[in-house]
Amino acid sequence: EDQVTQSPEALRLQEGESSSLNCSYTVSGLRGLFWYRQDPGKGPEFLFTLYSAGEEKEKERLKATLTKKESFLHITAPKPEDSATYLCAVQAGYSWGKLQFGAGTQVVVTP
Amino acid sequence: DAGVTQSPTHLIKTRGQQVTLRCSPKSGHDTVSWYQQALGQGPQFIFQYYEEEERQRGNFPDRFSGHQFPNYSSELNVNALLLGDSALYLCASRWATSGKNTGELFFGEGSRLTVL
């Protein structure tokens, strides 16, 4: 059965203190790994898609990487506005639109 | 360019009642997926609609049903509500036949359902 596990569950950072979030996955026929950001009471906001091991994507202070078993979301010099829950999801086979999500990592960045 | 819109934003029902949630996809999108997100959990896939038919379904009982209209908008219906159905219901849309086929889903803000 496909499985996505995110760690840690929660992360508290000082502004400027870089860190990484982990997403480990077990899936048959990975077609894509997705990172989303979700603010309280809002829908997930798309950040990145990664398709193959070794791929990296960057956006402002965020950088996502992918290996055959896990993905990392690196947050460099975070600001308070980076506070959110970060969700990882995998797309297996050809079931486009059917994502398997992890439970998320709640990130709080304090000034 | 309007994104994915959902209504209502919040609603309260009692056990045994029925509820209908509505979704308009992002402009140009023709495929709609529905997800249930319990508090503190990631979204769980309910089903997906394309060309007015249910194409895929997650592990949800038949109490959960849906519909897609010719204008690509969609409804999620839940019958015989249980306390455990309390959650944020998210609608997401995409192009079925994207040239890149990125698989990227655009989500709405959700409908918060509370069952008492």
Residue corresponding to tokens 């480990």: A24
Per-residue tokens: B92 = 């997401």
Q: Residue B8 pLDDT > 80, yes or no?
A: yes
Relative to beta strand B10-13, strand A84-92 is: unpaired
Per-residue tokens: A23 = 């997403």
- Tens of pLDDT, residues B60-108: 999 999 999 999 999 999 999 999 999 999 999 987 665 445 668 899 9
Which residues of B sit within 8 Å Cβ distance of A?
4, 31, 33, 40-45, 48, 56, 58, 88, 90, 92, 94, 96, 101-110, 112
- Tens of pLDDT, residues A49-96: 999 999 999 999 999 999 999 999 999 999 999 999 999 999 887 666
**Least CB–CB distance from B110: residue in A43, A45, A103:** A43
DSSP-assigned beta bridge partners for residue B107: B92
